């Protein structure tokens, strides 16, 4: 009797997630048929594609030892970017806390570790998990606003028909200078004028101030937004480098609520600033102490 | 570090509590030995309930009676701010509180660890969502 009860409980625990996923999937499928305007990509979108780097491309034949993979990226190896020698040299100067080239952040130089702005395209990766995998799009008559939960940052994409200025006319901007237009049902954003202090992603991929970036947004159904990006930066990359296909779900979609049973929207606008003074305190007291850089005060 | 105050849990329990690592957004993942768990008793000196890291500072007596300063990252802030219905807030822990902290130690010897479970004055304060919610990839993280 006791064994039967135990087995029953075990089976229930094992099968419950599958049941919940099926139920969520059916609900999502039902909602995905809801009507939508393909030229309206407004909404709070949360990332569902994994890994959170610019390219997210797996190498077919992994050739890096496991100890070079990050704590969370263990066993995941990525295809390399089409670097120029200068690009590879720039990559080597960047010491990330994630990925195949992970170092303890105490000895790294990820701009995030000092609360520097992530910039574009890194903000678009929605790399910071939990409630801040989201960004919000608001479209007005002459511009698109994109709000990022991390650092409570935002960028403007002009849609009033203006052309991009000359790069030489721009000072380096953390989020670049962006204009957008529609090509069929695809919203195309072209940007220049980026600050080279930012990384493309948390793996430390670099860019110059002459990088040109094109983002292509397409609403696949009521609940799903697709983003692909292509950067052109001849000094660091021998050819245009395409991102992987990033997918986002509309907030409130039943596919993934967080936590279970509570709509994601309740977690919106937590004003997640990275405060330099608090970050410094944490780095001194926890991050660096744990890496042997100093003692806990 | 006090051998009396730090004990290694049985392997099975350690594996259980480390099944869902809570990883800091950019904090110090590479620092920790995720496959090991220790338990530390201490007295709180400071509690930081802020983004992006919730951290706690506390003193632990070593086997000679000397105070050792310790620190630990706790759960992802946005998840803890949902408070799990157990009252997580900036006032949840105060200097002078007694804690029993189960945590992942660092790979190198240090007085820092990643919190997994905490008793505050004998009361269990969950560091993971009791509903089992997790971030993408099956991990709760920030």
For the segment A149-174, the average pLDDT, to the nearest whole number, is 92
Please report which confidence band the pLDDT of residue B71 belongs to, taking 50, 70 and 90 as the band edges: very high
The count of C-alpha atoms lying within 13 angstroms of the C-alpha of A118, restricted to the half-sphere facing its C-beta, is 28
Residue B129 class from Cβ within 10 Å (0-12 exposed, 13-18 middle, 19+ buried)? buried
Contact indicator for B18, B32 with CB cutoff of 8 Å: no
Joined tokens for residue A124: 């678009």
For residue A71, the chain B residues in CB contact (below 8 A) are 21, 23, 29-30, 32, 34
Q: What are phi and psi of A239, to 5 degrees?
A: -150, 165
- Looking at CA atoms only, how far is residue A269 from chain B in angstroms? 11
Nearest-by-CA chain B residue for A269: B78
A258 pLDDT band, cuts 50/70/90, is very low
β partners of residue B118: B101, B125
Q: What is the pLDDT of residue A44?
A: 86
Q: Does the pLDDT value for residue B81 go beyond 70?
A: no
Per-residue pLDDT, averaged over A129-152, amounts to 85
Question: What pTM, to 2 d.p., does this model score?
Answer: 0.79
The residue with greater pLDDT, B86 or A56, is A56
Q: CA–CA separation, A280 vs B68, rounded Å?
A: 22
Over residues B75-83, mean pLDDT: 66
Do B59 and A108 meet the contact criterion of CB atoms below 8 Å apart? no
pLDDT score of B142: 32
H/E stretch holding A85 reads helix A85-93
A254: pLDDT strictly greater than 60? no
Three-state secondary-structure class, residue A179: strand
CB pairs under 8 A between A and B: 147
The pLDDT of residue A269 is: 65
- Cis amide prior to B52 (ω within 30 degrees): yes
Instruction: Answer yes or no: is pLDDT of A215 > 50.
Output: yes
CA separation, residue A193 to residues A23, A171, A179, A240, A243 (Å):
46, 7, 12, 17, 19
Lowest mean pLDDT among A79-93, A192-206, B15-29: B15-29
Q: Residue B42: helix, strand or coil by DSSP?
A: strand
Q: What is the percent of chain A with per-residue pLDDT over 90, rounded to a whole number? A: 51
Burial of A239 (0-12, 13-18, 19+ CB in 10 A): exposed
| pLDDT exceeds cutoff 50 at A294 | yes
Please report the pLDDT score of residue A134 as a whole number.
Answer: 81
How is chain B split among helix, strand and coil, in percent rounded to 5?
15, 40, 45
Asked if pLDDT for residue A270 goes beyond 80, the answer is: no
- Residue B27 contacts A, CB cutoff 8 Å: yes
When pLDDT is cut at 50, 70 and 90, the band that residue A263 belongs to is very low
- Give the highest mean pLDDT range of A75-84, A91-100, A288-297, B56-65: B56-65
Closest residue of chain A to B69, computed from CA coordinates: A296
A45-91 pLDDT per residue, tens: 888 877 778 987 665 434 444 444 443 444 555 667 999 999 999 99
Q: What is the pLDDT of residue A65?
A: 44
Contact A129 B141 (CB under 8 A): yes
Confidence at residue A31, expressed as pLDDT on a 0 to 100 scale: 54
């Amino acid at each position: 009797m006791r064994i039967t009860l135990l087995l029953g409980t075990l089976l229930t625990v094992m099968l419950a997630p599958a049941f919940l996923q099926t139920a969520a999937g059916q609900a999502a499928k039902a909602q995905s048929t809801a009507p939508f305007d393909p030229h309206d990509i407004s909404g709070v979108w949360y990332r569902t594609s994994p890994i959170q780097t610019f390219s997210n491309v797996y190498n077919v034949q992994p050739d890096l030892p496991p100890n070079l993979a990050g704590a969370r990226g263990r066993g995941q190896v990525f295809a390399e970017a089409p670097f120029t020698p200068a690009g590879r040299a720039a990559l080597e100067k960047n010491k990330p806390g994630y990925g195949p080239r992970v170092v303890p952040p105490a000895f790294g130089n990820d701009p995030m570790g000092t609360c520097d702005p992530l910039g574009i395209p890194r903000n678009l990766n929605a790399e910071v998990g939990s409630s801040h995998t989201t960004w919000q799009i608001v479209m007005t008559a002459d511009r698109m606003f994109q709000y990022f939960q991390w650092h409570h940052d935002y960028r403007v994409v002009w849609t009033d028909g203006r052309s991009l200025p000359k790069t030489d006319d721009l000072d380096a901007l953390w989020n670049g200078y962006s204009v957008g237009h529609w090509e069929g049902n695809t919203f195309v954003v072209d940007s220049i004028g980026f600050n080279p202090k930012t990384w493309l992603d948390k793996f430390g991929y670099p860019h110059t101030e002459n990088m040109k970036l094109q983002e292509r947004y397409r609403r696949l159904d009521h609940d799903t937004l697709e983003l692909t990006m292509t950067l052109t930066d001849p000094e660091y990359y021998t050819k245009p480098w395409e991102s992987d296909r990033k997918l986002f779900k509309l907030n409130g979609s039943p596919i993934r609520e967080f936590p279970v049973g509570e709509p994601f929207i309740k977690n919106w606008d937590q004003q997640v600033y990275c405060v330099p003074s608090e970050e410094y305190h944490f780095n001194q007291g926890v991050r660096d102490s744990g890496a042997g850089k100093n003692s806990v005060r | 570090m006090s051998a009396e105050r730090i004990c290694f849990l049985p392997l099975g329990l350690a594996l259980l509590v480390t099944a869902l690592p809570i990883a800091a957004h950019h904090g110090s993942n590479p620092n920790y030995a995720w496959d090991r768990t220790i338990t530390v008793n201490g007295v709180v000196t400071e509690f930081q309930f802020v983004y992006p890291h919730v951290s706690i500072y506390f003193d632990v007596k070593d086997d000679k009676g000397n105070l050792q300063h310790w620190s630990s990252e706790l759960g992802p802030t946005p998840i803890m701010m949902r408070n799990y219905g157990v009252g997580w807030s900036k006032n949840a822990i105060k200097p002078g509180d007694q804690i029993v902290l189960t945590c992942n130690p660092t790979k190198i010897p240090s007085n820092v660890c990643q919190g997994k479970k905490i008793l505050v004055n004998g009361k269990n304060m969950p560091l993971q969502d009791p509903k089992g919610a997790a971030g993408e990839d099956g991990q709760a993280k920030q």
